Chain A
Amino acid sequence: MGELALIVIAAALVNNLVLVQSLGVCPLFGASGRVETAIGTALVTGLVLTIAAALTHVVERYVLVPLELPYLRLIAFVIVVAVAVRCTDAIAQRSSPLLASLLGVQAPLVTANCAVLGVALLNSTASRSLVAALFYGVGAALGFGLALVLFAGLRERLAHTDVPVPFRGAAIAFVTAGILSLAFLGFAGFARL
């Protein structure tokens, strides 16, 4: 139990996908114009991430390994991620029209998000069990959401600053993301709880 909690915290804070491992940086800059957009993107990506983490683990354990096809891992995972996005879309259509509209617009973006594929591959490299992989997915999703929402807040505040003209737009956003990553470095070495 403690170990699982540790996995979640490590995935969310210490090895934060966006700020420490530099995965999934596209949505960080693309979807963080406003806090509401960021929350929506974070929820959607987080959901897909968790589902994909579990599905890819199952595919690797019960399909790739018994058939001795480790070299097909990358292609198989990409296909599984696309399937996971479709699954989430189907679930969203049934349950929440809001989620469906959010996902509908962003489905290609989430499929191509390297964070989703990255988590799947990281789980595979670390040879985690299904439960551990799932919790890692949850932690990664939480960390991704945290980074996205924090960054959206900061970007909204950037509208009230007086940035020099050459730095407006993407440049100051990158500098801000850099300082945010520096802040998250404080969690390095959070080995024990």
Chain B
Amino acid sequence: MGKQKIHIKINGSDMEADVEPRLLLVHCIRDVFGLTGTHIGCDTTHCGACTVHLDGKPIKSCTLFAVQADGCEVTTIEGLEQDGKLHPVQEGFWQEHGLQCGFCTPGMMMTSVALLREKPNPSEDEIRFAISGNLCRCTGYMNIVKSIQYAAQKLRQGA
């Protein structure tokens, strides 16, 4: 199958690759760029483990071809920590025990970061609705909600 050259700015670094048009963005991120923090949990866009930011918006990278991201900026979980300082969402998940096996966690955190960018002070119902496209089998979501509330407060205080 013919290959196509793509350019993606991923976590601030310019990357290029020759990929088949059918290559999913999540496989490009994991297998081509070697960033394995983004996970795959289903085949039907339900679980959200593969959530990344495409030009700042959260998307499920299992449902986009890599060629569709050509010329875009992608942020993955590996791009959250800046200059050795954890993002408040990362801090919140650690502090409030918002993860157990850790498999859904990167996608869950990427969705959370996008939520707080849009709504700095979300209600609990708004948080629950926002993460309803991310499945977690371990935590029962209560501590995830608390983690996001922790991060929201931190961000509002200008952390």
Partners in one complex: no
